[in-house]
A = this chain, B = another copy of it.
């Protein structure tokens, strides 16, 4: 709780449900909170759902609107010296580009894992329900995902440990002058 950062950022972790976005994000959040004197906010679907996006589902249009609202919040936070760590599936390249255009220092983290790996980790039985048609518009099963063409960081969570993934994001921040 002593060192002051040099720059602020919006870390944008993207990929399928079960890829490990939240796990990496939460571990990184804890490490950064311990080491750095700045504010940090986590943004994800559960956090914004109650007050910001409760009218929205998972159609393409709703996903777009969701990310527009999140991008607005991320912009306000990051320009006021808050580090933002966001975890949204955000399956469309155009919408990730929209977020990038809204904020300064957008860092895209492609939390890659095969669909098979994600489905194996299906702790909430979401994939099972999607396969059975109980959950519609489920990214990877019944809805498309456009993989990032040019992410700043690509994690390979099927072969890296969580600590390795977190370290790779942390090292990126160091190597790019964020602290």
Binding site for B on A (CB under 8 A): 39, 41, 48, 51-52, 55, 65, 68-69, 71-73, 76-77, 79-82, 102
Dominant secondary structure at the A interface: helix
A-B contact pairs, 8 of them (CB 8 A): A39-B79, A39-B80, A48-B72, A51-B68, A52-B69, A55-B55, A76-B76, A80-B82
Q: Is B55's CB under 8 angstroms from A72's CB?
A: no
Measured between beta carbons, the chain B residues less than 8 angstroms from A41 are 76, 80
B82 with A69: CB separation less than 8 A: no
Which chain B residue shows the least CB distance to A79?
B39
**Chain B CB within 10 Å — which of A41, A76, A77, A81 has the most?**
A76
With contacts A55-B55, A55-B65, A81-B39 taken as known, whether A73 is within 8 angstroms of B76 at the C-beta atoms is yes
